[in-house]
Amino acid sequence: MLTISQLAAYAGVTVRAVRHYHQVGLLPEPERDRSGYRSYDAAAVVRLIRIRTLADAGVPLARVQELLDAGPEEFAEGVRTIDTNLRAEIRRLQGTRKRLARLAAGEHLALPGSVVGYLDRLRGLGVVERYIEMERDAWIMIAAQVPHLIDFVIAKKHEQLDDPDMVKLYSFFRGALDWPADDPRVVEVADIVERLMMRAVEAGEVGALGLDDQFVDLLDSTMVQSSPAAERLVAILEERGWRGWTRVERVPAERLHTGLPPT
């Protein structure tokens, strides 16, 4: 007869594991002898080895009891079921690993690949990282609101980068962005933006993708608060009859300076 330490050694497990298997009911706990010790026989060694083998194979302990007591056909079917579940779990973990690998690049967090490619194209134009980060954060929010439209929108953004005015606009973002409100470049940027807005209106390419007013206001306010120059830029455009940034609106001349909302 064997002590618990000898049993554990023969089966290749720890004494703590043996006690755990007792606790969960996988290994019957023998009665104590007159000296107060438990003694184990060969059958306990065999059962413990089978428990260890199943557990090492990845069988959940909740299923080990079922397989230990199963006949050959039931055992085979049980193993097949466990294998199917393990394959599904492996696929899930592999997907998680791929997502983690993409997250290592930083921008892949909450961003579809099309947006990441667009931001990389801006980097190719020499745009500074601070501006890239502002665009990235905006696209994260937009992609979460309209995931079914984001690839289409980014495709249009790539088309816009073929416009010399758009390239010139981004050329202003190759250096520091902390311009004072009276920097003469603000007016030049306003001129470019107005030309782009006019072409967008003429082409019917304005709107906010079905985003609600509160969300549009959030995006606009984030842009305005980014710098004193941005706030002045929006003010200049409003003076010229343009309202909004995310959702561009042409304000009728008679409503300028009246405080009335656009029709």
Q: What pLDDT score was predicted for residue 79?
A: 83
Residue 207 has a pLDDT of 62
For residues 125 and 167, the answer to whether their CB atoms sit within 8 Å is: yes
H-run or E-run covering 5: helix 4-11
CA–CA gap between residue 200 and residue 245 (Å, rounded): 13
pLDDT of residue 258: 40
| pLDDT given for residue 95 in this prediction | 81
Distance CA 47, CA 68 (A): 8
- How long is the chain? 263
| pLDDT confidence of residue 74 | 85
The tokens 């209106």 sit on which residue? 201
Q: How far apart are CA 177 and CA 189, in angstroms?
A: 13
Please give the chain's pLDDT, 263 residues, in tens: 888 999 999 999 999 999 999 998 889 888 887 777 888 999 999 999 989 988 888 888 888 888 888 888 888 888 888 888 888 888 888 888 776 665 555 566 678 889 989 999 999 999 998 888 888 888 988 988 888 999 999 999 999 999 999 999 999 988 877 899 999 999 999 999 999 988 888 887 766 577 888 888 898 898 888 888 999 999 999 999 998 888 888 876 544 444 434 43
Question: Which pLDDT score is estimated for 257?
Answer: 45
pLDDT for 190: 94
Paired with 249 in beta bridges are 243
pLDDT on residue 105: 57
Which residue has 């190759």 as its token pair?
Answer: 174
| pLDDT attached to residue 256 | 45
SS3 203: coil
Q: Which domains does the chain have, with CATH numbers?
A: 4-103 (1.10.1660.10), 113-255 (no CATH)
Contact between 75 and 35 (Cβ < 8 Å): no
Question: DSSP character for 247?
Answer: S
Q: Which residues does residue 40 pair with via DSSP β-bridges, in sequence order? A: 2
3-state secondary structure of 28: coil
Residue 109: its pLDDT value, please? 63
Q: What is the pLDDT of residue 21?
A: 92
| Distance (Å) of CA 65 to CA 28, 42, 57, 61 | 11, 19, 14, 7
Which residue matches tokens 């455009």? 237
